[in-house]
Structure 1
Amino acid sequence: MDWNPALIWIAIALLLGLAELSSGGLVLLALAVAAVLTSALAAMGLSLPWQLLGMGIFSGLLVPLAIMVIRPWFSPRGVAYGTTGTGVEKGHTYTTLKRDFDGASGVKINGDFYRLRVEATGETDLPEETRVVFKRFDGTTAIVSHCQEDRNQKHQKE
């Protein structure tokens, strides 16, 4: 079998398509489609520099299209995507807990323990089961404020 440039681009597209099965981000799928379109350029007899230019142009058009237009079709409605630290958790209420091995106060956000610091006072040791509102991250420290409900209950008890 003779490997011409069009077949090489098809093989690259197939590999990118297979890799997309493990990622799910649609970026590799967009690159696979760009490689298929580039194989059409190779089949027309264009030289390698023109093929690479075509791949760049196709990728530049298809990757943003896949991320901004097509990916939201596959996402559930009402889900705020983002990883911890991107601001998705801002304003959520959490309950403090103590870490087993050193007794540090912290909150569990998305399954991970983060030490805390109260924004107003700089306090880092709060009683367990204290409700706090997450504000932001400072490195790996969660900056929080006291939950207004807890403050109101404290004043009513006094």
Structure 2
Amino acid sequence: MDWNPAYSWLVLALLLSLAELTSGAMLLLALGVAAAFTAAVTALGLTLTWQLISMGIFSGVLVPLGVMVIRPHFSPKGVHYGTTGTGVEKGNHYTTLKRDFDNATGIKVNGDFYRLKVLESGDTDLPQGTPVLFKRFDGTTALVSLASADTDRQDDTSQRKEL
């Protein structure tokens, strides 16, 4: 069996697709599929120049498609793009929690515990279960406002998060 340049593209496609298992960003998978399409073009007997042009065109089409169209279907429900701290959680309601080992008061945002500070009073110690409205982060401290029962009734569009 003779080595065909198409095999090289297929090996690259396999390696990129396997590497996608470590990232979950759909970027490497899109590049792997582009490499597989380039292998098909190579099997037609095109030169290296046309193979590279084909890989560029396939990547230019498949990478945006994979990242912007396919990737959101694999994201957890209710998670906006952007990391915690970029403002995507602003305005959400939370209930306070007490951490076990140091009895610190905080809230959980996307599964992570953040100590809190009330903007109006500067308090950092609230009873567990106190409803608060998240405003922003100051470093790793969540700045919140106390949410009253009246505020909850008026703001039906916001979702109460109790994690």
What residue is the counterpart of 1:60 in the other structure?
A: 60
CA distance in structure 2 between the partners assigned to 1:61 and 1:131 by the alignment:
47
* Structure 1 residue 75: Cα displacement: 5.1
CA distance in structure 1 between the partners assigned to 2:75 and 2:23 by the alignment:
17
Question: What's the CA shift string for 1:22-68, capped at 9, x where partnerless?
Answer: 65543332112210222234333322x55344323321221111222
Alignment length (residue pairs)? 150
1:1-158 pair list within 5 angstroms:
1-20=1-20, 24-43=24-43, 44-47=45-48, 50-72=50-72, 74=73, 79-82=78-81, 83-149=83-149
> Secondary structure of 1:39's partner?
helix
Question: What's the CA shift string for 1:99-120, capped at 9, x where partnerless?
Answer: 2222222112233211011223
The one-letter amino acid paired with 2:99 is: R
Cα distance change, pair 138–52 in 1 and its aligned pair in 2 (3 A) = farther
Unpaired segments of 5 or more residues in structure 2?
A: 153-163
> Secondary structure of 1:85's partner?
coil
Cα distance change, pair 130–77 in 1 and its aligned pair in 2 (3 A) = closer
CA contact (8 A) 1:30 1:63 kept: yes
CA contact (8 A) 1:133 1:145 kept: yes
What residue is the counterpart of 1:156 in the other structure?
A: none
TM-score (norm 2): 0.71
Cα distance change, pair 55–76 in 1 and its aligned pair in 2 (3 A) = closer
CA distance in structure 2 between the partners assigned to 1:10 and 1:113 by the alignment:
45
Unpaired segments of 5 or more residues in structure 1?
A: 153-158
Determine what percentage of the aligned residue pairs are the same residue. Answer: 62
Cα distance change, pair 139–52 in 1 and its aligned pair in 2 (3 A) = farther
Aligned-residue CA RMSD (Å): 3.1
Which structure has more relative contact order (CA 8 Å, sep 6+)? It is: 2
